[in-house]
Amino acid sequence: MRVLLVALIALVWSWTGPARAVDIERVVSPGGIEAWLVRDATLPLLALEFRFRGGTAGEPVERAGVGQLAIEMLREGAGDLDSSAFAAELEERSIALSFSASSDQIAGGLRVLNMNRARGIELLALALTRPRLDPTSVERVRARLLAGYSREAEEPRAMARRAFQSTAFPDHPYGRSLEATVAGTRAATIDDLRGFIAARLARDNLIVGVVGDVTAAELGPLLDQAFGGLPAKASPTPVAEVAPAIAAERTIVIRRRIPQSVQMFGAPGLKRDDPDWFAGQLVNYVLGGGGFNSRLMTEVREKRGLTYGVSTGLSALDHSAVIFGASSTENARAARALEIIRAEWRRMAEEGPTADELENAKAFLTGSFALSLDSSASVARLLTAIQYDRLGIDYLARRDALIRGVTLEDARRVARRLYGGAGFLTVIVGEPEGIASSGG
């Protein structure tokens, strides 16, 4: 039986059916828990994704890292099941259960075949409301996280990212140092973990998306079983709004004896609720978000062979936003690569995209979207994302029109807004020839 289940679950999780219309139904459980449902009777499974607003940015300064440790512990035993027994239940029943923590939110997901749905919901509820936090398991997970932080401390891309964040967000949780996270992780007690879980996981900050062979009438009681035991209200620590501290050109070089220089660069960006969001996405696609179709890839890689890859993207946080890019190149050619990146950044501010570039970007953003919805879990995650960003249940019906409605004038105006400011922060890890720290 277990071999059959494994084979079936592999088929289910890898399913990539043709794109089709997404009919979203709002479901409210008898206990008042809301979820958005896309019913799909073609596969005998349930994919449930959830988010809690408020993440690790609200940790006490002296306990930075406690949230990551706490959320990691949710799969390490619950109720009467210790860590080994809990893992065995998941494996034997082919139940996929995951949790993750970020600065702004706690997220998780459950994927389970209908034949094991009741037990899957029960295990999810146990993990959320009755995590064991056994001392031996806590110490094992703590050691694993600390080992990961030790590796991160020496990984060039992670070093560049951390330095960029700490410079852009000084004295704010978004810029918290790795050293603080390590110290807080070492110091966190089991009471600290329980306190974080109790403060963050509640019904009033919960968002749920569900896809699968389940009716609205069936889903309501399942929602109460999974989440009804949570506290009614969360009590997260408020996190301040912050503008990135990038008001002038600045370069930070972190010297390391490695053959390539790793670069991260950026400027203030757009939050998700900004009316210019889609114009920003289109302009970013033209500059560096479009892979081999982007200007940066053409100028830095294709024409000059200075890098294997360079890309840019918009990062919309709950309390701030940046537009950032990343690349790597030989130390001897790092200065030339950075010179071209900055020149293309300025050219985008001055000229904006061409009409053809804008139309190509629109075609990609509208045409590729359905291809990203290649599994039940990806659709369920989309349902939570739409709710998280407060886009409205009709968002999918409006999305293409919003993108196509961006005019060339809009795109060029937003290009000036994004790329025309005085701020441009660059962090380089390596031994770049001809580049020194400046402007700070």
Torsion (CA) 31, 33, 37, 43 in degrees, nearest 10: -60
**Can you list the domains of the chain with their CATH numbers?**
23-227 (3.30.830.10), 249-430 (3.30.830.10)
Write phi, then psi, for 45 (nearest 5 degrees): -145, 170
Alpha helix stretches (DSSP H) within 169-252: 178-187, 190-200, 216-227
Residue 12 pLDDT: 39
pLDDT (average), residues 144-156: 96
Helix/strand/coil for 340: helix
Q: Are 206 and 230 in contact (CB under 8 A)?
A: yes
346-402 per-position pLDDT tens digit: 999 999 999 999 999 999 999 988 888 888 999 999 999 999 999 999 999 999 999
Residue 21 pLDDT: 60
Residue 373 pLDDT: 83
Residue 107 pLDDT: 98
Our measurement of the distance from residue 51's CA atom to the centroid of its chain's CA atoms, rounded to an integer in Å, reads 12
To the nearest 10 degrees (0 to 180), the angle between helices 355-367 and 395-404 is: 170
Beta bridge partners of 284: none
Which residues touch 176 (CB under 8 Å, ≥6 apart)? 61, 64, 166
Residue 143 pLDDT: 98
Residue 123 pLDDT: 98
Residue 9 pLDDT: 39
Our measurement of the distance from residue 91's CA atom to the centroid of its chain's CA atoms, rounded to an integer in Å, reads 26
Question: Which of 292, 293, 288 is CA-nearest to residue 312?
Answer: 288
Residue 382 pLDDT: 96
Q: Are 430 and 260 in contact (CB under 8 A)?
A: yes
Residue 417 pLDDT: 96
Which percentage of the chain shows pLDDT scores above 90?
88
Exposed e or buried b per residue across 256-271, where buried means at least 16 C-beta atoms within 10 angstroms of its C-beta = eeeebbbbbbbbbbbb
- Model confidence at 422, pLDDT cuts 50, 70, 90, reads confident
pLDDT (average), residues 400-407: 97
pLDDT at 13 over 90: no
Beta bridge partners of 260: 330
Q: Are 212 and 113 in contact (CB under 8 A)?
A: no
DSSP 8-class letter at 61 = G
Neighbours of 46 (CB within 10 A): 25
Residue 1 pLDDT: 38
pLDDT at 3 over 50: no
Residue 46 pLDDT: 97
pLDDT at 4 over 60: no
Residue 370 pLDDT: 83
Question: What is the rounded end-to-end Cα distance, in angstroms, of the chain?
Answer: 64
DSSP 8-class letter at 238 = P
182-236 per-position pLDDT tens digit: 999 999 999 999 999 999 999 999 999 999 999 999 999 999 999 999 999 999 8
Which residues touch 414 (CB under 8 Å, ≥6 apart)? 276, 279, 280, 283
pTM, two decimals, is: 0.90
Question: Rg of the chain's alpha carbons, rounded to an integer?
Answer: 23
Q: What is the mean pLDDT of the chain?
A: 93
pLDDT at 18 over 70: no
Exposed e or buried b per residue across 272-311, where buried means at least 16 C-beta atoms within 10 angstroms of its C-beta = eebebbbbbbbbbbbbbbbeeebbbbebbbeeeebbeebb
Question: Which of 228, 197, 161 is CA-nearest to residue 54?
Answer: 197
Q: Are 197 and 30 in contact (CB under 8 A)?
A: no
pLDDT (average), residues 256-268: 95
